[in-house]
Amino acid sequence: MEAFITNCSLFIAVLLGPLMLLSLLVWFTVQAFVELKYKVIRLYRIRSTPCGQCLYYTGCKELACTVQPCLALTKAANDCQDFTPTDSPHHRELDYYKL
CA 92 distance to own-chain centroid: 17
Q: What is the dihedral of CA 27, 32, 34, 38, to 10 degrees?
A: 160
The number of distinct structural domains making up the chain is 2
Question: Do 29 and 62 have their domain in common?
Answer: no
Question: Do 2 and 44 have their domain in common?
Answer: yes
Question: Do 65 and 44 have their domain in common?
Answer: no
What is the predicted pLDDT for the residue at 99?
A: 44
Question: Are 72 and 48 within 8 A, CB to CB?
Answer: no
What is the predicted pLDDT for the residue at 36?
A: 95
Q: Supply the pTM of this predicted model.
A: 0.53
Low-confidence ranges of the chain (pLDDT < 50): 94, 96-99
CA pair distance 33, 74, nearest whole angstrom? 23
Which structural domain, as residue segments, surrounds residue 6? 1-48
What is the predicted pLDDT for the residue at 89?
A: 56
Question: Do 28 and 4 have their domain in common?
Answer: yes
What is the predicted pLDDT for the residue at 24?
A: 96
CA pair distance 92, 86, nearest whole angstrom? 9
Question: Do 41 and 84 have their domain in common?
Answer: no
Question: Do 10 and 37 have their domain in common?
Answer: yes
